[in-house]
């Protein structure tokens, strides 16, 4: 099954305005667990916990359970809120203005608990953060890289936003015949779980390709896992043929 996420603004040159507009159209329904974002709602606890668990060595190295975390392509904030609830100080960034408004509205209507981290949202580009000299302990880009025009440049941008010794989490889809059948044709055209045209299968990235791009950007892929829909729930598996998630370390 395919999951759908927001288009991140990685760069005004690497992200298509058409894609930003497409995700903006879904902003009002983003937090509806039975709406068009249902697959993402179902997947979100799994992927955010997987990332948070792998941030444990970084928390130990920093001497704090509260990391600064940038969630690029946050959409209306599903992952951002989850990471803040884990205790991190989160900045959610997205190029889609209506999605950011939906995120801010949801946070206002559902304030975080007192023991949570902080959470802010920003409509804008990652390049703006780079130009401001912003750096974070951890950066997440979940279901984003398959929407950018230059994945290699995108990973380099993530590296620029990560403090030395920090970590970067990326989730995406593998470019296989199985993902074409299930994640593209099945999810968009048969089951109608996602709007038609949500993804371009040609932009899906194989794990070995992602690993090589990471190395070229100065990153080490230290763990990866498949995310699979096994009747009634999402589970972490070794099968990376459709959805998978990876975490990198920046030296």
Task: Kindly report the CATH number assigned to the domain that includes residue 241.
Answer: 3.40.50.150
Residue 165 annotated as binding?
no
pLDDT digits (tens, 9 = 90+) for 117-162: 999 999 998 999 999 999 999 999 999 998 888 999 999 999 999 9
Q: What is the pTM of this model?
A: 0.87
Integer CA distances (angstroms), 86 to 76, 119, 126, in order:
18, 11, 24
Please say if the pLDDT value at position 2 is more than 80: no
In a domain, 116, yes or no: yes
Look at the alpha carbons of 103, 108, 111, 114 in this order and tell me if their dihedral is positive or negative: positive
In a domain, 154, yes or no: yes
Distance CA 133, CA 228 (A): 37
Instruction: Place 231 in a pLDDT band, splitting at 50, 70 and 90.
Output: confident
Residue 94 annotated as binding?
yes
Are 237 and 226 in contact by the 8 Å Cβ rule? The answer is yes
How many domains is the chain partitioned into structurally? 1
In a domain, 90, yes or no: yes
In a domain, 98, yes or no: yes
In a domain, 2, yes or no: no
In a domain, 9, yes or no: no
Residue 106 belongs to domain spanning: 17-250
Please say if the pLDDT value at position 56 is more than 90: yes
In a domain, 140, yes or no: yes
pLDDT digits (tens, 9 = 90+) for 57-107: 999 999 999 999 999 999 999 999 999 999 999 999 999 999 999 999 999
Are 118 and 87 in contact by the 8 Å Cβ rule? The answer is no
In a domain, 5, yes or no: no
């Amino acid at each position: 099954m395919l999951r759908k996420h927001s288009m991140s603004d990685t760069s005004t040159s690497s992200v298509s305005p058409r894609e930003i507009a497409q995700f903006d159209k879904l902003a009002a329904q983003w937090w509806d667990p039975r709406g068009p974002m249902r697959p993402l709602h179902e997947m979100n606890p799994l992927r955010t916990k997987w990332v948070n668990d792998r941030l444990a060595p970084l928390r130990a190295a920093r001497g704090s359970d509260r990391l600064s975390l940038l969630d690029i392509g946050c959409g209306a904030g599903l992952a951002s809120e989850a990471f803040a609830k884990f205790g991190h100080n989160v900045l959610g960034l997205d190029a889609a203005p209506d999605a950011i408004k939906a995120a801010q509205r949801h946070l206002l209507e559902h304030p975080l608990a007192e023991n949570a981290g902080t959470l802010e949202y920003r409509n804008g580009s990652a390049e703006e953060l780079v130009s401001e000299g912003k750096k974070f302990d951890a950066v997440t880009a979940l279901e984003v890289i398959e929407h950018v025009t230059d994945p290699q440049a995108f990973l380099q941008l993530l590296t620029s936003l990560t403090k030395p010794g920090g970590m970067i989490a990326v989730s995406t889809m593998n470019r296989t015949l199985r993902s074409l059948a299930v994640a593209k044709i099945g999810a968009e055209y048969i089951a109608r779980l996602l709007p038609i045209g949500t993804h371009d299968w040609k932009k899906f990235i194989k794990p070995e390709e992602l690993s090589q791009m990471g190395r070229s950007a100065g990153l080490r892929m230290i763990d990866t896992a498949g995310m699979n829909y096994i009747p009634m729930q999402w589970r972490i598996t070794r099968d990376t043929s459709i959805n998978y998630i990876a975490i990198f370390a920046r030296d």
